[in-house]
Chain A
Amino acid sequence: MQLYELKEQLLKKILQPLYIFTGEEMAVANIYIDKIANIMNTKPIRAESVASIYGKLQNKSLMNKANCYVIRDDKEYLSQDKVWDNLNNGIVQGDNIIILLYTNIDKRSKFYKHHSELLTEFNKLTPQVLAKYIKKEIGLDFKYGEQLAELCNCDYSRIMLECDKLKHLAAARNCDIHIAYISAIKEKLIYAEPKDVIFEFIDAVCKREIKRSYKLYDELKAIGENPLAIISLLYTNFKSILLVQSAGEGVDIAKRTGLTPWQIKLAKEKGIHYSISDLVRAIKIIRKTEKEIKTGNIEQDMAIDFILVSILFNYIQ
């Protein structure tokens, strides 16, 4: 079910026995859960799994009060295909409503295919839409609102927290919300997540910027970047530099190397930091490290350290 269809249904106060919400933007999903519970005139009840409430659902109650059960990431239910239809058709739950939340659902899975018409995806909202929410919440201009949304990676819950921070900052400094926003940005009170750290890291290594390489490598470790992905990118970049350097000069470099003009431009910029023999040595080290990981002779966690020491410090000696 598309989000707009769900919205229309809720506006008309039409409810169905089972909802399945998926996607990264769970904060928005929670708004819809509250709305459903509101229509039912109750509060959402969080449960651990479908199995834990299955028995309760079939009990006859004297009060005859319908409940709205919310179950998050019940992995067991994903494989219990025999009870799916019972819940989908409301046979088990009677007037109760069940809302299943899944942060991720494998689109190739049987569950996804079976429930494709019931599923509502809560993907991240666009900065433009979020700017409207921000305007409504703290009265920040659209231009700044979009900026703030992008800074928060379009994460609704984080945006709401930052809005709260800005509100308090404006109150504490006794200033306008726009001035509070600008000073928060200047004073780095709103944390901007580094983007494309991996590419910056590759750029730093290819330009032999030792301090920057290690700083960015620490960030990569902090976000848990896969060492094999780093190795693969390092290899491709060093090979491009080697190809461009060894192809010599001339207008047909792209034809001779099989690289795009943009790749050639980048490779030329980086190329000045390494000689051809350095580059050959570098790609041999990178490839050897990858092989050692695959054969279990080197730990993935220390592979990048090994590559950095071998490639970068040769320069200092």
Chain B
Amino acid sequence: MIGQERLLTRIDKMIEAGFPRFTIICGNKQSGRKTIARYIAKALDAHLINSDIKVDDVREIIDLAYKQTEPIVYLLADADKMSPAAKNALLKITEEPPRKAYFIMTLQDINNTLETIKSRAVILNIDPYTPNDLIQYAELKGYNLNKEEEDIIINICTVPGEIDLIVRYNILEFYNFIETVIDNIGIVNGANAFKIGQRLNYKEDDGGWDIGLFMRAVMYICRKKMDINPISQYRDSIQITSKYLSELNITGINKASTIDMWILEMRGIWRNLYIKEKRDNSAII
């Protein structure tokens, strides 16, 4: 386990004092929520069971939980998408916890669960990872990174899981593609610009690039370029990207259309500069 010293110390103290039957681990995707759950199960000397979050599965584990004679930890991962019926079924366990079973739910946003569940659970928040933590994780995983790649990782990735993703994409290829996008988004025609969206991952198994990583990479590259060439277009691009990055977190938002809007706005910023440059050049001739 890399980083999270404060959280792990808190968990150790909780285990000494008697670990709560119902816990929520809150943090971004790939931030190590399941690793924390495994750590808890190990410390409790209990089996860890990954459960589905469908209502039938929740009801089944509740039935089983009351029959357990050995300590057992049920993990309800990514419960943000849990149906209201499943959440209500889970309420029973929070009211009358079984003697030998522990429930751990992982969420991205604490507001994606019922107030009644929230008020009965102990909430553990994943702390942000420091650049050192991230580099340490990459070293531990055996990724042989040069200085440039390390810089990219520190500035783009926020959680360890994202390092695995970006290494899988090929860090420099990913970076160079985004740099090309920023340089050319105002020059290419609209149909071509919309192709950027085809490279991204809108659903779990789409296989494209992670949208969050992509957007953060855009902001990082603009920031870097602004240091060399301080034109307002880079600042505007960072603002627009940041705006759409936060909109992507709205529950149920159409990610593909959000990216389309980002493309349109970015084109708007860079197209004006391109047209102005073209006009200036023709005036000189």
Contact = CB atoms under 8 A, between A and B. Distances in A.
A283 B191 CA distance: 14
A287 B190 contact: no
A290 B264 CA distance: 17
B257 A287 contact: yes
A247 B258 CA distance: 21
Contact of B251 (A246, A258, A290, A294): A294
Interface in A251-271: 256-258
Nearest to A257: B191
A147 to B, nearest CB: 41
Contacts of B251: 294
B192 A287 contact: no
Interface in B222-251: 247, 250-251
Given A242-B190, A256-B191, A258-B195, A232 B250 contact: no
Given A247-B189, A294-B251, A295-B250, A235 B194 contact: no
Contacts of A276: 190
Contacts of B254: 232, 235, 287, 290
A287 B256 CA distance: 10
Which of B191, B247, B260: most chain A CB closer than 10 A? B191
B18 interface: no
A280 B252 CA distance: 23
B191 A243 contact: yes
A239 B260 contact: yes
Which of B194, B247, B264: most chain A CB closer than 10 A? B194
Interface in A104-118: 110
Interface string B23-65: 0000000000000000000000000000000001000000000
A287 B261 contact: yes
A224 interface: no
Interface string A275-300: 01000100110110011001100000
A110 B54 CA distance: 13
Nearest to A287: B257
Interface size class of B (residues with CB under 8 A): 10 to 19
A248 interface: yes
Interface secondary structure of B, over-half rule:
helix
B198 interface: yes
B253 interface: yes
Contacts of A232: 254
B198 A258 contact: yes
A9 B255 CA distance: 54
Nearest to A239: B260
A256 B193 CA distance: 10
Nearest to B252: A294
Nearest to A243: B191
A136 to B, nearest CB: 46
A284 B261 contact: yes
A119 B182 CA distance: 59
A290 B256 CA distance: 12
Given A110-B56, A287-B258, A294-B250, A256 B192 contact: yes
B192 A290 contact: no
Which of A232, A243, A248, A276: most chain B CB closer than 10 A? A243
A280 B190 CA distance: 10
B134 to A, nearest CB: 32
A32 B179 CA distance: 69
Contact of B190 (A243, A286, A291, A294): A243
B257 A243 contact: no
A284 B247 CA distance: 14
Contacts of B258: 287, 291
Contacts of B194: 239, 243, 257
Nearest to A109: B56
Interface string B160-203: 00000000000000000000000000000111101100100000
Given A243-B194, A276-B190, A284-B261, A291 B56 contact: no
B25 to A, nearest CB: 26
B190 A246 contact: yes
A58 to B, nearest CB: 29
Interface string B114-145: 00000000000000000000000000000000
A104 to B, nearest CB: 17
Which of B190, B194, B195, B252: most chain A CB closer than 10 A? B190
A246 B191 contact: yes
Interface in B246-285: 247, 250-254, 257-258, 260-261, 264
Contacts of B192: 256
Given A110-B56, A239-B194, A283-B257, 13 more contacts: A232-B254, A239-B260, A245-B190, A246-B189, A247-B189, A247-B190, A257-B194, A283-B260, A283-B261, A284-B261, A290-B257, A291-B247, A294-B253
17 contacts: A235-B257, A239-B194, A239-B260, A244-B191, A246-B191, A247-B191, A256-B191, A257-B191, A276-B190, A283-B257, A283-B261, A284-B264, A287-B258, A290-B254, A290-B257, A291-B250, A295-B250
Interface of B: 56, 189-192, 194-195, 198, 247, 250-254, 257-258, 260-261, 264
Interface of A: 110, 232, 235, 239, 242-248, 256-258, 276, 280, 283-284, 286-287, 290-291, 294-295
The 4 closest A-B pairs by CB, nearest first: A246-B190, A247-B191, A287-B257, A257-B191
